[in-house]
Amino acid sequence: MPPTGFNGDRSTSASHARTAVTRTYRSTARNFAQLARRLAAGELVAVPSETVYGLAANALDAEACAKIFDAKGRPHSDPLIVHIHDIAQLAQIARAGTIAQKLARAFWPGPLTLVLPKTEAVPCIVTAGRDSVAVRMPRHPLFLKLLAACGLPLAAPSANPFGYVSPTSAAHVKAGLGGKISAILDGGPCEIGLESTILDARDEQRLRILRPGAISAAQLAQVAGCAVSDFTTSSSSATAARARVPAQRSNAEPAGQVAPGQLSRHYSPRAQVILHEKIPSELAATSRPTEALLYFSKPPADQPKGQAHRDWLTATGDQEEAARRLFAKLRELDAAGFKTLHVERAPSGILSTAINDRLLRASQRE
């Protein structure tokens, strides 16, 4: 039998989600106190982070966490990340080895998630039935303040319908989950705009990145003092393939993913996304009004325009700016009703692996 509170690959029907009046809260002392009380009472609150907005619930309350899956339409096989505000809380959630503790001290608060053996305090619904848990300490000051105010670890995946483009503003959250949740804490646009780096640190002899983000394998290895297996497209494809094929497993084997962000199709707009190393001039010249061209950097003035809408992620080639604008731009083009988005991959750089991972998953149609 699966562990209590874990439902395998089943996702809760959206029809079970209650209709709510969704209110956006500013960062006042009164609002923080109210939102902290709601979290303690088992309610959901959408929260800002430096990566993307999250949908938070008390990570130690299985019933509260079940509401996350309900509101998002998220499969129970996709685990949640637990957020803490003080490194002293880590021992309540996970068993961290020497290297994991060193990495936490170096990169927290910040966009690094560590996958570690879990403690009994963490419900199985949070971990997709596995004996490991993903943990991080966010850097956003309002999220940290709310974590401290409620005194609880908070489970929080991205605050959007499952599989859709991640939200990087309070308005994005309301557009996707309005009517399904009652509270959004507005912390402005996200600083990074991409989800955290996830590092598998269950075995400290085999550290490996499961999801690329703003913190690189080289940065992690320098602090850890040992090799860190970097994220590669081939490892992503292998993980995604395993996710698509239901495995024949015994009742003793875990049923879910080891970490979020592993599915082949994710971060996906309704429009079809077609990726290019560079958008060909011939394609641009013959493009149709139903298409949009999303360049990585602003194209030269003499680039053919055709009939498609034309946009770019950065005017100067700045990868941090491109990452920050990526999800917002995909949402904007999707909302405009374009049927096809031709998108350039990021050239080699500090965030290219993370940006291209999100684009690859957004382009998948199954």
pLDDT value of residue 250 = 39
In a domain, 67, yes or no: yes
Alpha carbon of residue 77 to chain centroid: 15
DSSP 362: H
Which strands form 154-155's sheet, in the order they lie side by side?
23-25, 183-185, 45-47, 54-58, 154-155, 81-83, 132-136, 112-117, 197-200, 208-211
Residue 235 within a domain: yes
Tens-digit pLDDT profile for the chain (366 aa)? 333 344 444 344 343 445 689 999 999 999 999 999 999 999 999 999 999 999 999 999 999 999 999 999 999 999 999 999 999 999 999 999 999 999 999 999 999 999 999 999 999 999 999 999 999 999 999 999 999 999 999 999 999 999 999 999 999 999 999 999 999 999 999 999 999 999 999 999 999 999 999 999 999 999 999 999 998 754 444 444 333 333 334 344 456 999 999 989 999 999 999 999 999 999 999 999 999 999 999 998 888 888 999 999 999 999 999 999 999 999 999 999 999 999 999 999 999 999 999 999 999 986
Instruction: Read off the tokens for 341.
Output: 């988005």
156 is in an annotated binding site: yes
In a domain, 5, yes or no: no
Based on the fold, state whether residues 69 and 169 are members of the same structural domain.
yes
In a domain, 251, yes or no: no
Q: Which residues of 64-98 are buried (b: 16+ CB within 10 A; e: fewer)?
A: bbbbbbbbbbbbbbbbbbbbbbeeebbeebbebbe
215 and 70 assigned to the same domain: yes
Quick one: 114 and 229 in the same domain? yes
What is the structure's pLDDT at 232?
Answer: 78
Q: Given 244, 263, 289, which residue is the final one in a domain?
A: 244
CA of 209: how far to CAs of 137, 220, 280, in Å?
17, 10, 33
Tell whether 111 is covered by a domain.
yes
Question: Residue 81's domain is classified under what CATH number?
Answer: 3.90.870.10
Could you tell me if 233 and 280 lie in one domain?
Answer: no
Q: Do 206 and 305 share a domain, yes or no?
A: no
Q: Rounded to the nearest 10 degrees, what angle do helices 141-150 and 29-40 cross at?
A: 60
Domain assignment of residue 265, yes or no: no
pLDDT for the residue numbered 233:
54
Instruction: Determine the structural domain holding residue 290 and report its residue range.
Output: 272-363
Is 267 a known ligand-binding residue?
A: yes
Long-range contacts of 6-9 (CB under 8 A, 24+ apart): 6/76, 6/124, 6/125, 6/128, 6/129, 6/255, 6/256, 7/76, 7/125, 8/76, 8/77, 8/129, 8/255, 8/256, 9/75, 9/76, 9/77, 9/246, 9/255
Specify the pLDDT at position 85.
Answer: 98
Tell me if 182 is assigned to some domain: yes
Angstrom CA distances, 364 to 33, 167, 193, 232, stand at: 42, 19, 21, 17
Please indicate, yes or no, whether residues 116 and 226 belong to a single structural domain of this protein.
Answer: yes
Q: Identify whether residues 70 and 22 lie together within a single domain.
A: yes
CATH number, position 355? 3.40.50.11030
Q: Is 321 exposed, middle or buried (0-12, 13-18, 19+ CB in 10 A)?
A: middle
Q: Is 164 annotated as ligand-binding? A: no
Per the domain annotation, does 144 fall within a domain? Answer: yes
Distance CA 259, CA 228 (A): 17
Same domain for 51 and 176? yes
Asked if residue 169 belongs to a known ligand binding site, the reply is: no
* 295 is known to lie in a ligand binding site: no
Q: Is 166 annotated as a binding residue?
A: yes
Per the structure block, which two tokens stand in for 41?
Answer: 């009472």
358 is in an annotated binding site: no
Q: How far apart are the first and last CA of the chain?
A: 29
How many distinct structural domains can be found in the chain?
2
pLDDT at 305: 82
Token pair of 312 as six digits: 């770019």
Residue 159 sits in the same domain as residue 101:
yes
C-alpha–C-alpha distance, residues 216 and 160, integer Å: 26
38 annotated to bind ligand: no
226, 244, 262: which is the final residue of a domain? 244
Domain boundary residue among 198, 226, 244?
244
- Domain identity same for 199 and 336: no
Residues 201 and 238 in one domain: yes
What distance in Å separates the CA atoms of residue 298 and residue 300, rounded to the nearest whole number? 7
Same-domain pairing of 337 and 201: no
